[in-house]
Chain A
Amino acid sequence: MWTYLIRRFLYSIPILFGVSLVVFSLFHLVGGDPATILLGKHATAERVAMVRAELGLDQPLSHQFVNYLREVVTFDFGKSYATREDIRTKIANGIGPTLFLTVPAFILTALLSLSIALIVSYYRGRWIDRLSLVFFVIIMSLPSLAYILFGQFILASKMGWFPISGYGATFSERIYFVTLPVLISIALNLGSDIRFFRNSVIEEVTSDYVRTARAKGVSETMIYLKHVLKNSMVPVLTYIVIQIPYLVLGSLLLESFFSIPGIGGMTIEAVNNSDFPVLKAMTTFISIVFILSTLLTDVLYRLVDPRMKFGK
């Protein structure tokens, strides 16, 4: 067990290094001169030289890479180019609002789609199942921007049921502002979740041991409660768990449309402002969170799943 833990932990080091290498080469090697992207094509040579010096782009590449690695390890990404804010503070401030939006949306989507999937799979092959399958493919196929525009324009602006955009200072204010984006987020993910869960449940319902149970006279309800629910949870939980790292990234579009001051909105803002240091820091930061959460889930799986214990 311990050897596994140590090995798994050490394995994230080359991955972290790889991510740093990819992000660094993207921002420092592949692209055009970041100073020119920042200032536009018509900037004077002195201005470009000044910005290059400020961002450390005038140093040799090896120096730049070492500097960047130091940023990654110390989590100190310098200052935003557009607003002069410390990026670390910016990220720390953004996590709260992002999680306030994504966590409720995530939990509600999971619960709702799981319940619907169980109901639908109970009636598999009958009209209610077929109809809902069509309905959820339709939901999946609509562009996400259409949901956001529809929600903001019809439900908030026209009907006045929700605030158009913003984020509050107190808890109840925040709930008031976040309700509509949470609802839209649920609608965005419901279709694909339900389809996946339904297939996992049906896979279990049609398996041999369930047929045996049915042949022995176990009622359909009991089969669901005692066997199917438990066993179909393995793929379902895996599917849910791999979404957890995305919670920190937030929803880029929802945050920017509803002016929620989170990580996703900041990323879009950085694109719009051509804020090179922020964009680089966001990419790095989210990837680190990603690597750490995969590490954590792998370890947890190892601890939880009894089948893993006898492996090497």
Chain B
Amino acid sequence: MWQVALRKVFRKKIPLICGLIIAAFLMVAFAAQFMGFGAAWDIPVGGQYLPPDFSDFKMWLGTDILGRSVMYKTIQGTRVALSVGIITAVLSAPIGIIFGMISGYFGGFIDEVIVWFITTLSSIPNILLLIAISYTMGRGMTAVYIALTATSWISLARILRGEVIKHKQKEYLVAAEALGVGHTQRIFKHLLPNVTHQIILSMTFMVEIAIRSEVLLSYLGLGVQNLPSWGKMIDDAKGELSTGVWWQLTGATVAMFLLMFAINVLGDYVRDALDPRAHV
């Protein structure tokens, strides 16, 4: 179902452009992570607070207080943001899938315990849970990954639980049971393909929320420590604006805006394509 929907989505122009934007971000992050793109961000390339100069790539966004290239910092920030987004989604999706499907499929006591756990975790406002986890685990990336994973799986588990309960009564599952298909096979071969689109959609939003949260945590000084991050760049910009230095804020804001915009729009199109009743 979702393969058809994706093919339908990418035949249109706007979602295709959004997909290309996301792909470009992924490529920048990949190059920064594995090929040393922008790795020289901590080496001064000129004087303090030089304005943007378009003749030289590393000067496109000027320099910061230590004369470092803001362009390189933005590139390294992209790497941090995307790795947080992707790692969070990859780690929390299996947790959400397992808890949600088991809870909805088996019902009874297991369901009650899992629902209790989910309700408990969602009674603590997300942002406080994030802050509390990354504060107590010590500042740094590992804490950010754990904090975001611990909070992101909850909504997916809840959505899947509802979906599975809905599907459980459908003929194809009843038929599978009548034919003597076991639980494991029924869950993985019959149920899972029917909820894959929900998982994909949820993971898109996990990436978005994770990137937003990373920026916030880094801004609070709880996030990444030895690498540039969009949040830290915006934090720097707080003091710079009054002296007329706007390029650091612009670099981080534009980068984050483009990525969020592309994810939002693409997510909309995918959701509409998956939902036959949706209205564009």
Contacts and interface: CB of A to CB of B under 8 A. Distances in A.
A237 interface: no
A145 B215 contact: yes
B128 A294 contact: no
B128 A271 contact: no
Contacts of A206: 279
Interface of A is mostly: helix
Contacts of A27: 132, 136
A260 interface: no
A268 B220 contact: yes
Contacts of B220: 268, 271-272
Interface string A4-32: 00000000001100110111001100111
A37 B138 contact: yes
A294 B136 contact: no
B257 interface: yes
Given A124-B279, A141-B264, A290 B124 contact: yes
A31 B132 CA distance: 10
Contacts of A138: 257, 261
A185 interface: no
B137 A290 contact: no
Interface residues of B, number: 44
Nearest to B258: A141
Contacts of A279: 131-132, 135
B125 interface: yes
B136 A141 contact: no
Contact of A287 (B124, B137, B241, B265): B124
B123 A290 contact: yes
Nearest to B217: A271
A279 B129 CA distance: 11
A138 to B, nearest CB: 7
B253 interface: yes
Interface stretch (B24-32, B56-64, B85-93, B114-122): B114-122
A291 B241 CA distance: 41
Contacts of B128: 249, 267, 282-283, 286-287
Nearest to A246: B125
Contacts of B279: 124, 199, 202-203, 206
Interface stretch (B169-177, B183-191, B231-239): B231-239
6 smallest beta-carbon distances between A and B, as pairs = A31-B136, A18-B120, A141-B260, A141-B261, A146-B253, A153-B241
